[in-house]
Amino acid sequence: MNFITAGESHGPQLTGIIEGIPAGLHLDVDQINAALTARQGGYGRGNRQKIEHDQVQIVGGVRHGVTLGSPIALVIQNRDHANWSQIMDPISPATATNTVRKVEHPRPGHADLVGGMKYNHRDLRNVLERSSARETAMRVAIGNVCEQLLAALDIRLVGFVQQVGSIHVDAEPLLDVAQIQQKIQQNDLRILNQDQVESIHQLIDSTKRAGDSLGGLIRVVAQNVPAGLGSYISWDTKLDAKLAGAVMGVNAIKGVSFGDGFDVAKTPGSQVMDEIDYQVGQGFSRLSDHLGGFEGGMTNGMPIIINAAMKPIPTLYKPLQTVDINTKEKLKANVERSDVTAIVPASLVVENVVAIELAKAITDTFEAASLTRLQAGIAEYRHQLANF
Ligand code: EPS
């Protein structure tokens, strides 16, 4: 399985192609659109989301609502393109009028400066249009197709927010996806503790007034993933490494960990390893999940727990020092419209890239030309595991 996305933030559309989804999966477009709408929400979003109403168009690989086994092609229109049609015109040669929003003051923390240096762009808009997190809309659409495939295999996952700026969410750690979903749907922060919503809203509001921005911590839990996905046999077959790469590939993510995360470094081994248990008919399990469902680069059958740290949005209304790429004069960076925090949508994006990696691992492991073959293969494998 593989996927690719294309498209600029204010270009005509985002385009995505996924290869390797088995034939015979009933694809619910409303569910993809619901995920896209959820990604646009969350407290702390800026004004761009008032313009966009993301909806997916399926333009290949699906017939009468059922996947064909051929590449699936997806499109999401950028409604804001109507306001940028000349500046982002793919064909007309550059003129004095269609290059007016030229960016020559790179924003610290963004791809602007290094992207310009690498690709030799003198207008840094050529960089920021693609490095923008707008692209994550397509990763959510593709991720939702993968989530629907995983659901057909009885595997569920959810991403939520554990910390916004300095405020950590105090809640009993939950590993049941339905329970987590039920709690986080009660607020616009995707957090487990309803009592902390107001204080986090206040933090986001005061940060906005100060012209500043916030990051946070995200957690994804995946349930009912069979043991033995990934492998210990070579470093590049380890599934936790692939998941960490996919999560680091989400804009603004600066750290990834599993289970108890970096705390394991300071904890004695007896409190980190998950003791082994056995129940007749269910097979092996663990008495705890400190390691986040991975041993030796393989899933061990416990819920997968992935944590991600997101840096604050680098576009600030209180601009930081930069240097004009032409005059080399020191000045304040361009102020672009931005969100105060994107931790809420990022928690969904991280959930979706995890779904993509899990769907990849499963379609790589089992015969996956058709959904029925895939379901039969996994059912047989689950039986083998339960009887080991
Ligand atoms: C982004 C800047 C803002 C965000 C954007 C990511 O866009 P604009 O410059 O058009 O106001 O709203 O996120 C999205 C458009 C999106 O759909 O998530 C950036 O610089 O990364």
Per-residue pLDDT tens for 222-244? 999 999 999 999 999 999 999 99
CB of 9 closer than 6 angstroms to any ligand 1 atom: yes
Taking all residues of the chain, what is their mean pLDDT, rounded to a whole number? 96
Q: Give the Cα separation of 270 and 290 in Å (integer).
A: 11
Count CB-CB contacts under 10 A for residue 285.
16
* Lowest mean pLDDT across 178-182, 315-319, 324-328: 315-319
What's the fold here for domain 2-386? Chorismate synthase, AroC fold (3.60.150)
Strand, helix or coil for residue 376: helix
- Ligand 1, atom nearest to 314 Cα: 20
CB of 336 closer than 6 angstroms to any ligand 1 atom: yes
How far separated are the first and last CA of the chain, in Å rounded? 29
Residues 6+ apart with CB under 8 A from 62: 27, 68, 72
- Ligand 1, atom nearest to 52 Cα: 17
CB of 137 closer than 6 angstroms to any ligand 1 atom: yes
| Alpha helices for the chain (secondary structure H) | 29-40, 48-51, 112-119, 125-131, 136-151, 177-184, 197-209, 239-248, 343-365, 371-386
pLDDT tens profile 187-211: 999 999 999 999 999 999 999 999 9
At 336 the pLDDT is 67
Q: Hey, whose CA ends up nearest to atom 14 of ligand 1? A: 134
CB of 339 closer than 6 angstroms to any ligand 1 atom: yes
Strand, helix or coil for residue 114: helix
Q: Hey, whose CA ends up nearest to atom 3 of ligand 1? A: 338
Q: Give the Cα separation of 10 and 13 in Å (integer).
A: 8
By the 8 A CB rule, do 148 and 27 touch? yes
pLDDT of 110 over the 70 cut: yes
CB of 139 closer than 6 angstroms to any ligand 1 atom: no
- In sequence order, the β-bridge partners of residue 79 are none
> Between 319 and 236, whose confidence is greater?
236
Q: Which helix (H) or strand (E) holds 4?
A: strand 2-6
Q: Phi, psi (5° rounding) for residue 245?
A: -65, -45
Span 113-130, mean pLDDT?
98
pLDDT tens profile 266-276: 999 999 999 99
The token pair at 293 is 């469902």
Q: Hey, whose CA ends up nearest to atom 1 of ligand 1? A: 132
Q: Give the Cα separation of 311 and 251 in Å (integer).
A: 9
At 158 the pLDDT is 98
Q: Which of 83, 103, 134 to mutate for ligand 1's pocket (most ligand atoms within 8 Å of CB)? A: 134
The token pair at 85 is 């049609």
Span 58-71, mean pLDDT?
98
CB of 45 closer than 6 angstroms to any ligand 1 atom: no
For residue 7, what are the CA distances in angstroms to 14, 54, 83, 186? 5, 14, 16, 34
pLDDT of 168 over the 90 cut: yes
Q: How far is the CA of 128 from the centre of ligand 1 (A)?
A: 10
DSSP per residue over 194-237, as a string? GGGHHHHHHHHHHHHHTT----EEEEEEEESPPTT-S-SSSGGG
Q: Hey, whose CA ends up nearest to atom 19 of ligand 1? A: 132
Q: What percent of the chain shows pLDDT beyond 70?
A: 99
pLDDT tens profile 240-264: 999 999 999 999 999 999 999 999 9
pLDDT tens profile 332-357: 876 767 789 999 999 999 999 999 99
Nearest to 346 by CA among 260, 218, 184, 208: 218
Q: How far is the CA of 282 from the centre of ligand 1 (A)?
A: 47
Q: How far is the CA of 9 from the centre of ligand 1 (A)?
A: 7
Q: How far is the CA of 132 from the centre of ligand 1 (A)?
A: 6
Sort residue 55 into left (φ over 0), alpha (ψ -120 to 50) or beta: beta
Look up tokens 């009592």; give the residue: 195
Q: How far is the CA of 272 from the centre of ligand 1 (A)?
A: 40
**Residue length of the chain:** 388
Q: What percent of the chain shows pLDDT beyond 90?
A: 93
